[in-house]
Every structure is written in structure tokens, then in C-alpha cells.
A and B are shown apart, each in its own frame.
Chain A
């Protein structure tokens, strides 16, 4: 049935050992052809938060186009808009020069836009064949693509639920390919794929570009992007900040675009010099070879008293699992956690809390009882244990709560429900809870996401103060500049492993960004504490750090 496949071999990029150089110059129809997909001025607000302000994306026929941006830059929002999963507040989407209203995934499909999401869209409780019928996908081309993608023995009667994730993602791709979409959107397509499948996938994606169709390729892996893509659109803070041709050394330029003007500013360390990492103190929390499922593989580090350790990682590199395991929310599948030198087992968050570990989740909606008052939210952990179910000593509770409110300067003018507070004040409430409870170790997961600058400053100050009092803080942040403001040390996680640990002096944003993308440190800055020497080391791009 291979003859039903779209013609496979064109000259342009099929020579597998394509040299890394001189590729982008052969942009064939860049100027002559109309774009297949042209989105301009796309904006989307969630309440008061602007997820996208002014994003544009133009994809030409026959190209593989990378869509890049740091965490929270708006990539996924843009993809959701293009594929009809959500509706934009503003903006125009032209497909083959025609304005199209992509109202639903079905409409996007009809318009020739097909996404393959990170979580496969196959219905778990239907077999593969039924999944094909559900989406009106022709079976034979699908089978051909599946074989082409390196799965020779697929049983289409198998339930999607019983198929391993990696294969499922490939099937999702094959299903999309089988209807020959004009524009294919691939979200982190090679994540969770074993090397052989990933290779096949990349090969097919490359060929897709040759057949006059287009692929939008979202990836965190520079290696793939430079091997595969023709151009890249870079998003920052919900805006398109640049479109670049992929050529050798472009990584630096992309990192710069992703970071924006901050790159210069943050060379100046904003943290007071006197607060630099104190002398090695007793480890409060020890993490040894911690593993959680497939997401977190072998993470080890220490967290000392009086220290703020930063954690930097791209989305989905295992940081969520790390924090959840330390907070007792999920059970690790291997390794140990030590508290004050003693091994600890957490079966329930209460165990972690008893060990003095408090967890401030990234999503405030996860931590707060939104319809309850500030006071009740702060006092919530007090009532948790059975023996505190009785009458509350209202006076004492009031004093403790007021103390915490004052310390964090929470604006409680909006009395009553926490949901009426601003995001920043809500975040303060989640932290205040643990200050009132006097936790020794605080795990902060991106506490400044989506809050205003003033409150951010207050939170930085607070975290430093806590460290000054001898408490230890583990601080995951998606904003690299915060590292300089808050942390003593930075742990970089990539692919579920600690790939690097920076002392704060060396942790400038370009260095962190490169490390977070799994790129090795520059030779001249390398002080030899690369935690994982097994990390694939492609030749480091020349050009060094930004000036």
C-alpha cells in the first residue's frame, strides 16, 4: 500500500546527513508564494491576564516552521486558537489567503489545520479503528503512515488505552497525516519518544515540508529545530518578537529574542551582595536519586538551612513531579527524601507538613478555598489534624493570622472571599498560611506567575527574609531573571535529570536558558560541576554569551 503514500523522495532535504550549513539560503518560494497560514494581531485575555497580546505567525507552503518561546510566552495559547480549541479575542487568520473563522476543532480540520498535541487526542476507551472512524480518517493511508513511522505491527483493534504513550503519539501523528492536512501543528512531537521513533518522525516531518504542505513545529530541543526547520517565529510575553531563518549559530539569537531586553539589565546582580550564599550549612532537605514514573529520573540535591535554591526547567521536565513528591502529594517510584538527615516517607501531605515542609503550588486555585475568607484560608492547616477539630481559640487564631497578614502586607480590603483578591494577594495568602504555621522548609512553585511587579518584589524580599531566619526555600521559577534576585544557587532540570547546578554568580539568563534547553555550558565558563556528563553533547555553538 506504499503506493498510496504521498510521493516521498524529493531532493531537497531527504539526504539524511544534511550538512548543518547553508541550508536556509535555499529558501525556495519564500518570496514568491503566498503563505499557507497567516495569523496576525492575535490576542487572547483570560480575565485580566493577557495570554496573547499581538501574536503573528506566517507559514509558507513547503516549510517547517518552528514556534518558540519561553514558558508562558503564549505558544500553547496560539496553538489552541489556530486549532479552534479556544477563540481569540482579536486577530485575523488567513488560510490560503482566505479569512477563516476557526470556531471549533472540527472547523480547523475542515480548513486543513491539524494539530498533534502533547497528550494524544485518541479516545482511550475506543480501539484505533474506532478512533479513525470518529474523526473520519481513511484507514489505508493511516496504516501506510504508521508503517512509515516505524511501527510495522500495529493491531488497529487494540484499545488506545492499552497502547504505550510513545506509540500513541505516533498514531496521533499518522492519523493527522492520513488526511493530508495543509498545515500540521506538532506540539513537542518528539517528547517521550524513544530515539528510533523520534528519528522516523523527524524524517517524515521533513518530507511533509517537501510536499508543498507546511508544518508548525513546537519544540524545546534546539538540535531538532536546527536539523529540521526552515524558519522560527519567537514569542515573548504574548507577542511575536521575531522571525528568524534557521542557520548555524541561530540558537544565540533565539535565546536573545526569547529573553528580550532583559538580557542586558540582568547582568547587574540585583541581590544585595551581603546576602550571597552563606557558608555551607546543615542540609535540611536531602533528595537522593529521586524518581517519579517516567517524568523524573534520578534527581539528587541538598537544600540547606538558610538557603534559597532555585530550580529552573522548561515546562514538563519533571519539576512538577519533584515538588509534588517532596510535598507528599505523590509517591516517588524510587530514591529517598531526607529531612534533617533522617530518611522520610510521605504518604500524605500531612506527613510532609509534620516534617516541616510546606508546599506553595503554582496554581493558586489549587491551594485556596476560593469562596472562603482570607482568615480561614490562612488558618486552614491549623484545623487539619483530628485533635484540632474542636472549638477554635478565635482570639489566638486572629492574632496569628493578623500577624501573617501584616508581615506579608496582604491587602484585605476586599473582605470575605479570597477569590475577590488580586492574584498577587491571593499568592500572598498561600504563603502566609505557611508562615503562620511556621514551616521550616518552603517549596515555592513559580509563586510569581501572573502577578504584578510590586507584589513580585515583596515576595522576593519575603523569601530572602525567610532564608535569613534560617528557613530553607526551594524556588521553582519560570522567569529566569528572578534567579538573580532571590536564589543562592540554581538547579537546572532537563528531561527529568539535574543537568547543571550554578552558583548564583554564574547564573546569568543566557547561561540558564542554554542549560534549560539542555545545551552544555560555554567552555570558558565551565567550572566543571556539570551534574550529568551523559547528557548528549553536541558541539557547543560558537559565539559565546551575549555581550
Chain B
């Protein structure tokens, strides 16, 4: 039990911080209610998937700079495919886009393993390539999303037997997020592959000596990252109803949330829950700043400063642990 407490201490602290932030929000804006929470969940959705994508690669000891560009590409692909198409066609679009993310992510991994160029350079180059590809698919924001897809993240989950007041706090977007992440993460975490991902991030040499297929595991980690990024892209299309070819601010946000979520940039440590909670924290800070009627541009600065500070703090911790 003590291990669980110690290991989850950081996440528990984040949860506490989140609750404090909710209380602060309620104090600033006494009318803050379930509807606002729903929009928070919707705003979090793409960020959360970006963070999930980054988390898995960072745990494997790498980094993926192409996350935001991958989201942009999958988003515009989905939006342009669904534009003018029937509602049913979207049933095909969703798995197609997810598969695309998986393949492109795996391509990242393969390039890293085969060229032996460091991950940071490969994913930087892929950032250019995916950005370019997104511009080729749609050179300006456009496209469309199927109505039923958009509807999956609007409103609340009707659960029979629950009073409406409770139900109101269960936005569909949150449910979608939880379901998508759990479906992939929990089986992965429990599998040998999941262990191997942690192992290569923690100590590549020890993993190799323990018989872990290091190259294959690394490719798998990037493939999952691509899959999560594709979910993020779909979430963007679902929430905006269109696709935008210019990547959003998801790269730095994902790295910051990963660090804030207790996943060491050196790899091998942490889980998915921490970074996801961290995303909520970061978004809620933004909400609060907006509620305080602070200029949105100043909000952007404060957010940026928080993220940079978090990343610096993370790097500092990593440096310390390496020295000891």
C-alpha cells in the first residue's frame, strides 16, 4: 500500500491541485456549473490525446515533436473526407484516420531505428513533412464533420437512475476521453509490450540484457503515439466541425503536461493518469485567468511561462537524478 501511495503521491497532489483550482474557479465565478465543466472537458479533449501521445513516447525514453503536426494532418484528412459525404461514410473515416496515425507513428519509429538519427531530429523532420502533408490535404481551414460525430462530445451522458444534477457533471467528452484512453492504455500497461516500453525507457542496456526486443518496442511506442495523435486530430475535427492545417500549440503543451504529470523526460517513469490530470490543471488555470478578465494574450504569456517553468523544473530534476 505504501508503494502505491508513494508512487501515486504526485498524481494525488495533482488531483488536490485540480480540486483547489475548481474551488478557486467557483469562488471567482459563483455561477460556474456543469455546462462550463462540459466545455472544459471539450477543450481538454485534443490536449489530452496529444499528451497521451507524448507520454507513451517519453516513457519509452524518446520524444515526439511531430505530435501537433500529426494531429493537424489527421484532422484535415478526416474533415476533408467527411466534407459532403454521407453520415455513414464517417463510420469508415474514423478507423481509416486512426490507422493512418498508427502507420505514420510507426514510420517515425522505423526511421529512428533504421537511420539511427536521434529521435528529436527524426520527429522534427516528420513535423515538417506532416505539416506539409496537412497543407496539401487542405490549404485553409475547411472540410466538415459528420453530425453524429460532433454529437458524441456534446451534452452529457444519460445514465438511467442517476439524478439529472449528477448526470450534468458527466459530459460526453469526458466519457469519450476516458473510454478511448482506457481501451488502449490499460491492456497495454498490463501486457509484456507495455512493460518493455517502460524497460527501454528506464535502462536500455538492462532491457536489452533482459531479452527485450529494443527496436521493435520503440517502433511500437511511436505507433501508439501516432494512434493517440490521430484521436487528437479527430477530436479537433469533432469539436470544431472542420480541419485546420496549421498545427495548434499542442507540442509544448504536451511536453509540459507530461513533465507536470510526473513522467520523467529521461523515460521509464510515470503513467498516463498524471499527465491527463495535468492537462486539466493547465486548462483550468487558463479558464480561471479568463474568468478573472485577464487579457487573453496575457493569459497566453502566463501559460507559456508556466509551461517553460515546468519543463525547466523537469529537466532540473532529471539532471539531479542523473548526478546522484
Contact = CB atoms under 8 A, between A and B. Distances in A.
A460 to B, nearest CB: 36
B269 interface: yes
B208 A105 contact: yes
Contacts of A117: 209
Interface stretch (B161-169, B172-180, B190-198, B221-229): B190-198
Given A124-B268, A125-B268, A104 B201 contact: no
A85 B269 CA distance: 25
Interface in B1-58: 3, 7
B73 interface: no
B248 to A, nearest CB: 31
Contacts of B211: 104-106, 109, 135
Contacts of B268: 123-125
B195 A105 contact: no
A507 B208 CA distance: 42
A90 interface: no
A49 interface: no
A119 B203 CA distance: 11
Interface string B265-302: 00011000000000000000000000000000000000
B213 A106 contact: yes
A85 B208 contact: yes
Interface secondary structure of B, over-half rule = helix
B209 A121 contact: yes
Contact of A130 (B195, B203, B205, B207): B195
Contacts of A85: 208-209
B275 to A, nearest CB: 16
B3 A134 contact: no
Contact of A134 (B7, B201, B212, B269): B212
B209 A134 contact: no
Nearest to B4: A157
Given A105-B210, A106-B213, A133 B198 contact: no
Contacts of A104: 211, 213
Given A106-B211, A124-B268, A130-B195, A157 B202 contact: no
A115 B212 CA distance: 15
A537 to B, nearest CB: 36
Contact of A126 (B3, B199, B209, B213): B199
A123 B198 contact: yes
Contacts of B195: 126, 130, 133-134
A277 interface: no
Nearest to A80: B209
B206 interface: yes
A117 B203 CA distance: 14
A127 interface: yes
Nearest to A107: B211
Interface in A30-85: 83, 85
28 contacts: A83-B209, A85-B208, A104-B211, A105-B208, A106-B211, A109-B211, A115-B209, A117-B209, A119-B206, A120-B206, A121-B206, A121-B209, A123-B199, A123-B202, A123-B207, A123-B268, A124-B203, A125-B268, A125-B269, A126-B198, A126-B199, A130-B195, A131-B210, A134-B195, A134-B199, A134-B207, A135-B211, A159-B7
Given A109-B211, A126-B198, A159-B3, 5 more contacts: A105-B208, A105-B209, A121-B205, A123-B206, A125-B268
Top 5 A-B residue pairs of the complex, sorted by shortest distance between their CB atoms:
A106-B211, A125-B268, A125-B202, A121-B209, A123-B199
